[in-house]
């Protein structure tokens, strides 16, 4: 399906953190605005759990509650400047202030209010196009944002929008979608100008952020999978299984099990299959494999899949 932008386009961008809107969708936003369409940005977190850039910029070691709040306010202000650079009015920007590095926990512990927040934005925007993080993004906030958004869109009573998934953290080879946005020198230069508005991040990670933003904007059309046997794509090592957990999310809620207690069986090909799932629950269904082990590494090793 081709991406056609016109004056009737109403784009909603789901951004887990400040700067995602510029890195992932800076040129898409501009093209929608140039076509006469509407753009609305929904920022999930303020990016306040970001201690190393804050230590670097503020020349401090201890980061407490007040310092985090102030940093989040600074980053949210940077988003407003970036969006102005991209041609988006301040009235089209909404921030939910969810916990940074806590979107997965929010999905698990507060799914209903999370869905309600996304649904309220859908009602306000009435989008026919939604740009959301990829399910395969390695950052846990991004992949959890995909799950929450998909469940909200599926249950929304409005006209279903088309869904474009974008990848920020991961290999470009993972983007198997059909949409590569056409660009121009001017659009790309203005996107990079918007990126520089995120000064708190550019100070320590400027090269990495420019590298991410320099990539062509590629998207994947999102379509729900046909329901079938709930085959898991993972074959975790028996050595790791004592520390592993499995989480499943759908419209009936969120359930989690230690790996050895999960309702798993092997199929004829030796793959792990979730069984005993309710057949009367419609809509998308997702599973996540993870380890509850403290680690300085924030990115997912296995992440989420759609069943």
Host domain of residue 176: 10-221
Digitized pLDDT (tens) for each residue of the chain, 307 residues in all: 568 999 999 999 999 999 999 999 999 999 999 999 999 999 999 999 988 889 999 899 999 999 999 999 999 999 999 999 999 999 999 999 999 999 999 999 999 999 999 999 999 999 999 999 999 999 999 999 999 999 999 999 999 999 999 999 987 666 556 788 888 999 999 999 999 999 999 998 999 999 999 999 999 999 877 777 789 999 999 999 999 999 999 999 999 999 999 999 999 899 999 988 878 888 999 999 999 877 788 999 999 999 9
Strands 38-45 and 93-98: parallel
Residues 292 and 177 in one domain: no
Nearest CA-CA partner of 217 in 6, 13, 51: 13
Residues 37 and 164 in one domain: yes
Q: How many domains does the chain have?
A: 2
Residues 178 and 266 in one domain: no
* Domain containing residue 127: CATH number: 3.40.50.10320
Whether residue 2 is contained in a domain is answered as: no
Residues 289 and 171 in one domain: no
Q: 298 by DSSP, 3-state: which?
A: coil
- Please give the span between the terminal C-alpha atoms of the chain, in angstroms, as a whole number: 23
Last residue of a domain, one of 197, 221, 245: 221
Which pair of structure tokens corresponds to residue 166?
């974008």
Residues 240 and 132 in one domain: no
Which pair of structure tokens corresponds to residue 211?
């590298």
């Amino acid at each position: 399906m081709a991406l056609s932008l016109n004056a009737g386009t109403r784009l909603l961008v789901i951004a887990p953190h400040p700067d995602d809107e510029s890195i992932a969708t800076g040129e898409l936003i501009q093209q929608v605005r140039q076509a006469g369409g509407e753009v609305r940005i929904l920022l999930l977190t303020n990016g306040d759990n970001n201690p190393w850039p804050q230590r670097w910029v503020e020349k401090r070691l201890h980061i407490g509650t007040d310092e985090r709040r102030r940093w989040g306010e600074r980053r949210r202000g940077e988003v407003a400047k970036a969006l102005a650079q991209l041609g988006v009015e301040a009235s089209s920007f909404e921030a939910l202030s969810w916990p940074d590095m806590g979107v997965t926990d929010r999905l698990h512990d507060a799914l209903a209010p999370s869905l309600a927040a996304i649904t309220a934005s859908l009602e306000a925007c009435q989008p026919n196009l939604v740009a959301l993080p990829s399910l395969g993004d390695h950052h846990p906030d991004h992949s959890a944002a995909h799950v929450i958004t998909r469940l909200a869109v599926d249950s929304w009573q409005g006209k279903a929008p088309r869904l474009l998934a974008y990848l920020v953290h991961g290999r470009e080879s993972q983007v198997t979608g059909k949409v590569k946005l056409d660009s121009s020198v001017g659009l790309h230069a203005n996107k990079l100008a918007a990126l520089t508005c995120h000064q708190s991040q550019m100070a320590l990670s400027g090269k990495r952020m420019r590298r991410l933003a320099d990539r062509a904007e590629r998207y994947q059309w999102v379509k729900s999978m046909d329901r079938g046997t709930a085959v898991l794509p993972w074959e975790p090592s028996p050595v790791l299984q004592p520390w592993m957990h499995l989480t499943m999310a759908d419209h009936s809620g969120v359930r989690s099990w230690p790996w050895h207690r999960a309702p798993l069986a092997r199929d004829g090909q030796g793959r792990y299959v979730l069984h005993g799932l309710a057949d009367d629950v419609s809509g998308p269904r997702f599973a996540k494999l993870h380890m509850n082990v403290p680690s300085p590494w924030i990115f997912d090793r296995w992440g989420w899949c759609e069943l």
